[in-house]
Structure formats: structure tokens, C-alpha cells
């Protein structure tokens, strides 16, 4: 190998090295939003029993969980007030719903850029033997600061056997460049009943 070839290869590796490293650096860690791991804000209010709690997240961020009329919102911020003012705190799914208590944080190095959380959306057209609606599962990808916090993508967890992988790829590909209030939430993979319910208006 001559000197010019060596220099050329060095330049090529310098050019592709950082992008390859960046592509490989995204990883996941997890936190809990279970009530026992969070701080309750105030007392449940009558008559609907609405509640609010704040849970520790990653990199100084907090997760806000608010429930009202059997519907939840999940938002993220550096404190409760900031989280409550984000676009994510204004997104209510029309059917009854709830989020699971495990939050997956997608991060490049130590800096998280998105969360992924499983939600259960009530399907009134599919009641159980007691007449209560069965629920359909969906993964929600939410972008994180810097910039606003909002939903980026929905992945139907029943229609897509590889839903977790699809949600992680959506977070890695779209969250950092997503413009809240301008870009439309992306439906990733096969569009199933959970996504239909979540996007009802």
C-alpha cells in the first residue's frame, strides 16, 4: 500500500467514522412511572378521581403522568411546570386509555432524545364478557428537549410483531428532527385497531 492510498483510506475512515458511531450509539435505558416510584401531586379530585404524579427520568428530566376521566397524558420536562406546558401534555386520546409504567429512554451517549411507552386504548366495539371494553396496545414515541415535547410516532403493538424494534427505529430516525405542532405524527408499520382508536377525533 503506497502513501497516497494510506492517506486516502485515513480520510475515508475519518469521514465515515463519526456517522457510523452516531448510528450505533443509540441505546435504551428504563425508568418506572409506577405510583410507588413517583411523587403524588395533591390529592385525587372528586368526582372523577383525577390524579397527577411526577416521576424521575433521565438526565435531569421528569415524567408527568396526569389522569382525568379514565384518560391519561404523559409529558416530560425539567420540572412539573415545564412538563405541563409541553404539547404532549395537551394530547388526549378520545377513548379511555392508560399508559404502562415502564418508560424506555432512547439516548445517544448519555443524552436522551426520545421515550417509548406502551399504551392501552379502550375499544368499545370489543367488550369482554362483563360488557367492559377490551383494550388494544400501542407504542408511543415522544421526542424530548431541547425543543418541545410531543408525540412523534405510533406503532400498533398487535398488528406488528416487531413493534418494539419499529418504535426504536422511529425514535432514532425521526425524533430529533421532528417539529412539534407542524409535523404530523407518523404511523409506523401496519396500521391496526389501536392506532385507529388513538387517532379518532
C-alpha cell at 196: 385507529
Residue 106 has pLDDT above 80, yes or no: yes
pLDDT value of residue 25: 82
Domain boundaries, position 36: 30-198
Provide, rounded to the nearest whole percent, the portion of the chain with pLDDT above 90: 77
Tell me, yes or no, whether 137 lies in a domain. Answer: yes
pLDDT band at 6 (very low <50, low <70, confident <90, very high): very low
Which long-range contacts (C-beta less than 8 Å, at least 24 apart) are formed by 134-139?
Answer: 135/97, 135/98, 136/192, 136/193, 136/194, 136/197, 137/194, 138/194, 138/195, 138/198, 139/163, 139/164, 139/166, 139/167
Strands (E), the chain: 26-32, 39-40, 51-56, 62-68, 71-77, 97-99, 102-108, 111-127, 133-143, 151-156, 186-188
pLDDT value of residue 104: 98
Distance CA(71)–CA(99), nearest Å, equals 9
Tell me, yes or no, whether 138 lies in a domain. Answer: yes
Query: What is the average pLDDT score of the chain?
Result: 89
Query: ∠144-150-151 over CA atoms, to 5°?
Result: 110
pLDDT band at 169 (very low <50, low <70, confident <90, very high): very high
Is there a contact between 153 and 191 (Cβ–Cβ < 8 Å)?
no
Tell me, yes or no, whether 2 lies in a domain. Answer: no
- SS3 breakdown of the chain: % helix, strand, coil, rounded to 5? 30, 40, 35
pLDDT value of residue 28: 97
pLDDT band at 15 (very low <50, low <70, confident <90, very high): very low
Tell me, yes or no, whether 160 lies in a domain. Answer: yes
pLDDT value of residue 45: 66
Residue 21 has pLDDT above 60, yes or no: no
**Which pTM was predicted?**
0.85
- Summarize pLDDT for 38-72 with one digit per residue, the tens: 999 987 765 566 899 999 999 999 999 999 999 99
- Summarize pLDDT for 144-157 with one digit per residue, the tens: 999 999 999 999 99
Number of domains making up the chain: 1
- Burial (0-12, 13-18, 19+ Cβ within 10 Å), 152: buried
- CB atoms < 10 A from the CB of 191, how many? 15
Tell me, yes or no, whether 45 lies in a domain. Answer: yes
Is there a contact between 104 and 113 (Cβ–Cβ < 8 Å)?
no
pLDDT band at 201 (very low <50, low <70, confident <90, very high): confident
pLDDT value of residue 159: 98
Distance CA(58)–CA(84), nearest Å, equals 17
Residue 34 has pLDDT above 70, yes or no: yes
Tell me, yes or no, whether 134 lies in a domain. Answer: yes
pLDDT value of residue 48: 62
Tell me, yes or no, whether 171 lies in a domain. Answer: yes
Tell me, yes or no, whether 24 lies in a domain. Answer: no
Please state the rounded mean pLDDT for residues 69-94: 96
pLDDT value of residue 50: 86
Amino acid at each position: 500500500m503506497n502513501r497516497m492510498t494510506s492517506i486516502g483510506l485515513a480520510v475515508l475512515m475519518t469521514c465515515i467514522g463519526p456517522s457510523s458511531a452516531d448510528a450505533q450509539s443509540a441505546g435504551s435505558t428504563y425508568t418506572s412511572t409506577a405510583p410507588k416510584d413517583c411523587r403524588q401531586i395533591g390529592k385525587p379530585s372528586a368526582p372523577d378521581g383525577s390524579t397527577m404524579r411526577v416521576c424521575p427520568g433521565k438526565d435531569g428530566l421528569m415524567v408527568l403522568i396526569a389522569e382525568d376521566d379514565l384518560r391519561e397524558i404523559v409529558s416530560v420536562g425539567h420540572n412539573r411546570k415545564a412538563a405541563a406546558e409541553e404539547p404532549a401534555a395537551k394530547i388526549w386520546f378520545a377513548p379511555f386509555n392508560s399508559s404502562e409504567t415502564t418508560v424506555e429512554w432512547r439516548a445517544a451517549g448519555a443524552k436522551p432524545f426520545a421515550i417509548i411507552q406502551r399504551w392501552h386504548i379502550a375499544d368499545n366495539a370489543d367488550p369482554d364478557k362483563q360488557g367492559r371494553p377490551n383494550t388494544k396496545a400501542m407504542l408511543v414515541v415522544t421526542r424530548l428537549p431541547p425543543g418541545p415535547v410531543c408525540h412523534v410516532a405510533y406503532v400498533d403493538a398487535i398488528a406488528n410483531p416487531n413493534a418494539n424494534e419499529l418504535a426504536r427505529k422511529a425514535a432514532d430516525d425521526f425524533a430529533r428532527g421532528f417539529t412539534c405542532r407542524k409535523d404530523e405524527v407518523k404511523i409506523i408499520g401496519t396500521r391496526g385497531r389501536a392506532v385507529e382508536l388513538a387517532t379518532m377525533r
